[in-house]
Chains A and B, each alone.
Chain A
Amino acid sequence: MAYNVLVGIGGTGARVVEAMVHLCAAGYGPENLSIFLIDPDESNGNLTRTKTLITLYNLCRQSFNPSKAAEKQLFKTNIKIPETLVWKIFKDKNTTLSYYINLKTMTKELEDFASVLFSEVELNTILNEGFRGHPSIGSVVMSDPPQDEEPWTVLWDDIITQKQNDVRVFLAGSVFGGTGAAGVPTIGSQRLIKYNDKATIGAGKSRVLLGGALVLPYFSIEREDETDEKMYVTHYDFPIATKAALQYYNEKQLGFDQLYFIGDSLNQKIGKFSVGSMSQENQPHYIELVTALAATDFFEQPPLEGDPEKLYYIACRDDDSVTWESLPVSRNEQEIRQRQIDFKARLVTMSAFAYTFCTYGKDTLDKPHKDINDTWYREHFRFDENKEKERVKNPRWGENKTQLENFEKFLKHYYLAWLCSMDDNSDKVRLISKSKICEGSIQIGKEINLIDYNKKKDNLGDFLKEKSKKEDFYVFINRFLNSVNITDEKTLSAANKYINIFYEAAMKFCAHNYHIQ
Chain B
Amino acid sequence: MNKSPMNYLITFAIACFFWVITGLVLAGHLSDTVSLATLAIEDFLFWYRIAITAVGVISLLLTYYWYVYGSKDSTAGDLEQARRVWYQLFVILIIVAIVALFAKVIIFLDEGIAIIDYLIIFAALSLHTYIFYWLCTFLMSPRAVKYLVPLKK
Contacts and interface: CB of A to CB of B under 8 A. Distances in A.
B92 interface: no
A457 B148 CA distance: 23
A482 interface: yes
Contacts of B77: 454, 457, 473-474, 477-478
B147 to A, nearest CB: 4
B45 interface: no
A474 B74 contact: yes
A373 B79 contact: yes
Interface residues of B, number: 14
A378 B147 contact: yes
Contact of A482 (B74, B83, B144, B148): B144
B29 interface: no
Contacts of A472: 73
Interface residues of A, number: 15
Interface string B14-54: 00000000000000000000000000000000000000000
Contacts of A475: 73
Nearest to B77: A474
A477 B74 CA distance: 9
B143 A482 contact: yes
B146 interface: yes
Interface in B112-150: 143-148
A70 B146 CA distance: 27
Given A375-B146, A482-B143, A474 B79 contact: no
A479 interface: yes
B76 interface: yes
Q: Most B CB atoms within 10 A — which of A373, A378, A457, A473?
A: A373
Contacts of B145: 375
A375 B73 contact: no
A474 B73 contact: yes
Interface string A445-464: 00000000010010000000
Contacts of B74: 474
A373 B83 contact: yes
Interface in A465-482: 472-475, 477-479, 482
Say whether chain A's binding surface is mostly helix, strand, loop, or mixed. Answer: helix
B71 to A, nearest CB: 8
A482 B73 CA distance: 11
A375 B152 CA distance: 11
Interface string A468-500: 000011110111001100000000000000000
Interface in B64-90: 72-77, 79, 83
A477 B145 CA distance: 12
Contacts of B72: 478
Nearest to A373: B147
Q: Most B CB atoms within 10 A — which of A375, A472, A482?
A: A375
A477 B144 contact: yes
Contacts of A454: 77
Contacts of A482: 76, 143-144
A483 B76 CA distance: 12
B148 A478 contact: no
Contacts of B75: 474, 478
B143 A374 contact: no
A386 B95 CA distance: 38
Contacts of A483: 143
A474 B76 contact: yes
A409 to B, nearest CB: 26
B147 A478 contact: no
Given A373-B148, A375-B144, A478 B79 contact: no
B73 A374 contact: no
Given A474-B76, A477-B76, A375 B143 contact: yes
A472 B74 CA distance: 9
A373 B141 CA distance: 13
A472 B147 CA distance: 23
Q: Most A CB atoms within 10 A — which of B74, B75, B144, B148?
A: B144
A255 B143 CA distance: 61
A378 B143 CA distance: 11
Interface string A255-270: 0000000000000000
A254 B77 CA distance: 60
Interface of B: 72-77, 79, 83, 143-148
User: Lowest 7 A-B CB distances belong to which pairs?
Assistant: A478-B76, A474-B77, A474-B73, A373-B147, A478-B73, A477-B76, A475-B73
Given A373-B147, A474-B75, A478-B144, 16 more contacts: A374-B147, A375-B143, A375-B147, A454-B77, A472-B73, A473-B77, A474-B76, A477-B73, A477-B77, A478-B73, A478-B75, A478-B76, A478-B143, A479-B73, A482-B76, A483-B143
